[in-house]
Structure 1
Amino acid sequence: MLVLLASFVNEPKLPYKKAGLTTQQAAAHLLSRFTYGAKPGDVADVVEMGLEKWFEQQLNGDLADPILKEALSKFDDINLTNTEVENKYPRNAQVVRFAVRDGFIHRDSVANAKGPTYREAILAYRKTKGYKPQQELYRQFINQKITRAIYTENQFRELMTDFWFNHFNVSLSKNQCAAYVPAYERDIIRPQVFGKFENLVLSTAKSPAMLMYLDNFSSAGGSMVLNAKKKPGLNENYAREVMELHTLGVDGGYTQSDVTQAARILTGWTIAPMGDNGYGAGMKNVLAKIGNDKLHKLGYVREGDFLFAKNRHDNGEKVVLGKKFPAGGGYEEGVTLLKMLAHHESTAKFISKKIAIRFVSDAPPQSLIEKMAKTFLSTNGDIKNVIITMVNSPEFWSANALREKTKSPFELAISAVRSLDANVKQPYQLYSWINKMGQQLYYYQAPTGFPDRGQYWINTGSLLNRMNFGLALAAQRIPGITFDLTALNKNKEPESAEAALVTYSKLLMPERRLDATIERLKPMVTDPNLESNVAAAAEKNSASKQMGLMMNEDANLMAEGSDLKKLKGKKALTSTITPLKTGNNTMLAQVVGVIIGSPEFQRK
Structure 2
Amino acid sequence: MKTTRHFLGFTTAILVAALLLPSFLNEAGPSYKFAYKQAGLTEQQAAAHLLNRFSYGPKAGDIDEVVKLGLEKWFEQQLEANQPDQILNTKLNSYDAINLSNAEVVSKYPQGGLVRRMAEKEGIMIRDTSAQGKRDSREKLQAYMQQKGFKPQQELFRQFISQKILRAAYTENQLQEVLTDFWFNHFNVSLNKNQCAEFIPAYERDVIRPNVLGKFEVLLLATAKSPAMLTYLDNFSSMGTNEEMPQSMNEQAIRRMQSLSSSRPADTAIKARVQKAKSSRGLNENYAREVMELHTLGVDGGYTQNDVTQAARVLTGWTINPAIRAYGNQMQKPAKRGPKAILAQKGFVQEGDFLFAANRHDTKEKIVLGRKFAAGRGYDEGVELLTMLARHPSTASFISRKLAVRFVSDNPPQRLVDRMARTFSETKGDIKRVLIAMTASPEFWEKEALREKTKSPFELAISAVRGLNAEIVMPYQLYTWITKMGQKMYYYQAPTGFPDRGQYWINTGSLLNRMNFGLALASQRIPGIRFNLASLNSNREPESAEAALLVYSKIIMPERNLDETIKRLTPMLNDPNLSTKIQEAASRETPKTEMNSGMMNEDAQIMDETQSTLAAQKQKKAKNGLASIQSSPGNNTMLAQVVGVIIGSPEFQRK
Q: TM-score, normalised by structure 1?
A: 0.90
Tell me, yes or no, if the aligned pair for 1:581 and 1:587 is still in contact at 8 Å: no
| Alpha-carbon spacing, 1:442–1:490, altered in 2? closer, same or farther (3 Å) | same
CA–CA separation in structure 2 for the residues paired with 1:12 and 1:167: 28
Tell me, yes or no, if the aligned pair for 2:532 and 2:635 is still in contact at 8 Å: no
| Alpha-carbon spacing, 1:114–1:255, altered in 2? closer, same or farther (3 Å) | farther
**Secondary structure of the residue that 2:448 maps to in structure 1?**
coil
Residue identity in the other structure for 1:337: L
CA–CA separation in structure 1 for the residues paired with 2:522 and 2:86: 27
Q: Which position in structure 1 is the counterpart of 2:4? A: none
Q: Which position in structure 1 is the counterpart of 2:90? A: 70
Residue 291 of structure 1: CA displacement? 1.0
Q: Does 1:13 align with 2:41?
A: no
Q: Which position in structure 2 is the counterpart of 1:245? A: 294
Residue 583 of structure 1: CA displacement? 8.0
Alpha carbon RMSD of aligned pairs, Å?
2.2
**Secondary structure of the residue that 1:21 maps to in structure 2?**
coil
Tell me, yes or no, if the aligned pair for 1:308 and 1:331 is still in contact at 8 Å: yes
**Secondary structure of the residue that 2:486 maps to in structure 1?**
coil
2:530 pairs, out of 482, 494, 519, with 482
Tell me, yes or no, if the aligned pair for 2:111 and 2:153 is still in contact at 8 Å: yes
| Alpha-carbon spacing, 1:434–1:276, altered in 2? closer, same or farther (3 Å) | closer
Residue 539 of structure 1: CA displacement? 2.3
Residue 68 of structure 1: CA displacement? 0.1
More helix by share: 2
**Secondary structure of the residue that 1:118 maps to in structure 2?**
helix
CA–CA separation in structure 1 for the residues paired with 2:471 and 2:298: 41
**Secondary structure of the residue that 1:9 maps to in structure 2?**
coil
**Secondary structure of the residue that 2:50 maps to in structure 1?**
helix
The unaligned stretches of length 5 or more in structure 2 are: 1-19, 255-276, 592-630
**Secondary structure of the residue that 2:94 maps to in structure 1?**
coil
CA–CA separation in structure 1 for the residues paired with 2:298 and 2:97: 36
1:329 pairs, out of 377, 380, 393, with 377
2:640 pairs, out of 575, 589, 604, with 589
Q: Which position in structure 1 is the counterpart of 2:546? A: 498
Residue identity in the other structure for 1:520: R
Tell me, yes or no, if the aligned pair for 2:30 and 2:76 is still in contact at 8 Å: no
Tell me, yes or no, if the aligned pair for 1:148 and 1:158 is still in contact at 8 Å: yes
Q: Which position in structure 1 is the counterpart of 2:576? A: 528
CA–CA separation in structure 2 for the residues paired with 1:41 and 1:519: 26
Q: Which position in structure 1 is the counterpart of 2:399? A: 351
**Secondary structure of the residue that 2:323 maps to in structure 1?**
coil
Tell me, yes or no, if the aligned pair for 2:190 and 2:196 is still in contact at 8 Å: yes
Tell me, yes or no, if the aligned pair for 1:82 and 1:274 is still in contact at 8 Å: no
CA–CA separation in structure 2 for the residues paired with 1:436 and 1:93: 28
Q: Which position in structure 2 is the counterpart of 1:150? A: 169
The CA deviation string for residues 21-73 of structure 1, in whole angstroms up to 9 with x for no partner, is 00000000000000000001111111111111111111111100000000111
Residue 102 of structure 1: CA displacement? 2.9
| Alpha-carbon spacing, 1:361–1:497, altered in 2? closer, same or farther (3 Å) | same
CA–CA separation in structure 2 for the residues paired with 1:472 and 1:391: 36
Identity of aligned residues (%): 64
Residue 285 of structure 1: CA displacement? 9.3
Residue 276 of structure 1: CA displacement? 6.2
Residue 74 of structure 1: CA displacement? 1.2
Residue 4 of structure 1: CA displacement? 4.1
Q: Which position in structure 2 is the counterpart of 1:124? A: 143
Q: Does 1:48 align with 2:96?
A: no
| Alpha-carbon spacing, 1:232–1:390, altered in 2? closer, same or farther (3 Å) | same
Q: Which position in structure 1 is the counterpart of 2:514? A: 466
Residue 428 of structure 1: CA displacement? 0.5
Q: Which position in structure 2 is the counterpart of 1:569? A: none
Q: Does 1:189 align with 2:204?
A: no
Tell me, yes or no, if the aligned pair for 2:34 and 2:440 is still in contact at 8 Å: yes
CA–CA separation in structure 1 for the residues paired with 2:404 and 2:379: 34
Number of residue pairs matched by the alignment: 565
Residue 540 of structure 1: CA displacement? 2.4
**Secondary structure of the residue that 2:278 maps to in structure 1?**
coil
The CA deviation string for residues 172-216 of structure 1, in whole angstroms up to 9 with x for no partner, is 000000000000000000000000000011000000000000000
Tell me, yes or no, if the aligned pair for 2:128 and 2:134 is still in contact at 8 Å: no
| Alpha-carbon spacing, 1:581–1:34, altered in 2? closer, same or farther (3 Å) | closer
| Alpha-carbon spacing, 1:114–1:170, altered in 2? closer, same or farther (3 Å) | farther
Residue identity in the other structure for 1:269: W
Residue identity in the other structure for 1:585: N
Q: Which position in structure 1 is the counterpart of 2:598? A: none
CA–CA separation in structure 1 for the residues paired with 2:131 and 2:146: 22
**Secondary structure of the residue that 1:400 maps to in structure 2?**
helix
| Alpha-carbon spacing, 1:411–1:324, altered in 2? closer, same or farther (3 Å) | same
CA–CA separation in structure 2 for the residues paired with 1:407 and 1:15: 24
| Alpha-carbon spacing, 1:139–1:30, altered in 2? closer, same or farther (3 Å) | same
| Alpha-carbon spacing, 1:130–1:287, altered in 2? closer, same or farther (3 Å) | closer
Residue 3 of structure 1: CA displacement? 3.4
CA–CA separation in structure 1 for the residues paired with 2:220 and 2:519: 42
Residue identity in the other structure for 2:485: M
The CA deviation string for residues 105-161 of structure 1, in whole angstroms up to 9 with x for no partner, is 24x559999422211111111010010010110000000000000000000000000
State how 1:10-409 maps to structure 2 within 5 Å.
Answer: 10-106=30-126, 114-221=133-240, 222=245, 223=247, 224-225=250-251, 226-227=253-254, 229-275=278-324, 277=326, 291-409=339-457
The CA deviation string for residues 528-555 of structure 1, in whole angstroms up to 9 with x for no partner, is 2211111111122369xxxxxxxxxxxx
Residue 585 of structure 1: CA displacement? 1.2
CA–CA separation in structure 2 for the residues paired with 1:408 and 1:478: 19
Q: Greater CA deviation, 257-266 or 94-103?
A: 94-103
CA–CA separation in structure 2 for the residues paired with 1:468 and 1:378: 48
Tell me, yes or no, if the aligned pair for 1:345 and 1:377 is still in contact at 8 Å: yes
CA–CA separation in structure 1 for the residues paired with 2:31 and 2:22: 12
Residue 9 of structure 1: CA displacement? 3.1
CA–CA separation in structure 2 for the residues paired with 1:22 and 1:432: 38
Tell me, yes or no, if the aligned pair for 2:513 and 2:586 is still in contact at 8 Å: yes
| Alpha-carbon spacing, 1:303–1:323, altered in 2? closer, same or farther (3 Å) | same
Q: Does 1:423 align with 2:471?
A: yes
| Alpha-carbon spacing, 1:344–1:460, altered in 2? closer, same or farther (3 Å) | same
Residue identity in the other structure for 1:538: A
CA–CA separation in structure 2 for the residues paired with 1:528 and 1:512: 28
Tell me, yes or no, if the aligned pair for 1:86 and 1:274 is still in contact at 8 Å: no
**Secondary structure of the residue that 2:559 maps to in structure 1?**
coil
Q: TM-score, normalised by structure 2?
A: 0.83
The CA deviation string for residues 48-103 of structure 1, in whole angstroms up to 9 with x for no partner, is 11111111111111100000000111111100000000110111121112213333
Tell me, yes or no, if the aligned pair for 1:13 and 1:392 is still in contact at 8 Å: yes
Q: Which position in structure 2 is the counterpart of 1:567? A: none
Residue identity in the other structure for 1:261: Q
CA–CA separation in structure 1 for the residues paired with 2:117 and 2:442: 61
Q: Which position in structure 2 is the counterpart of 1:557? A: none
| Alpha-carbon spacing, 1:155–1:584, altered in 2? closer, same or farther (3 Å) | closer
Tell me, yes or no, if the aligned pair for 2:535 and 2:634 is still in contact at 8 Å: no
**Secondary structure of the residue that 1:307 maps to in structure 2?**
strand
The CA deviation string for residues 494-530 of structure 1, in whole angstroms up to 9 with x for no partner, is 1010010000000000000000110000001122221
The unaligned stretches of length 5 or more in structure 1 are: 544-579
Tell me, yes or no, if the aligned pair for 1:211 and 1:270 is still in contact at 8 Å: yes
CA–CA separation in structure 2 for the residues paired with 1:299 and 1:139: 40
Residue identity in the other structure for 1:210: M
CA–CA separation in structure 2 for the residues paired with 1:98 and 1:285: 22
Residue identity in the other structure for 1:51: L
Residue 104 of structure 1: CA displacement? 1.7
CA–CA separation in structure 2 for the residues paired with 1:145 and 1:105: 37
CA–CA separation in structure 1 for the residues paired with 2:326 and 2:549: 59
The CA deviation string for residues 462-519 of structure 1, in whole angstroms up to 9 with x for no partner, is 0000000000000001000010001000110110100100000000000000001100
The CA deviation string for residues 332-364 of structure 1, in whole angstroms up to 9 with x for no partner, is 000000000000000000000000000000000
CA–CA separation in structure 2 for the residues paired with 1:25 and 1:89: 48
**Secondary structure of the residue that 2:47 maps to in structure 1?**
helix
CA–CA separation in structure 2 for the residues paired with 1:122 and 1:263: 41
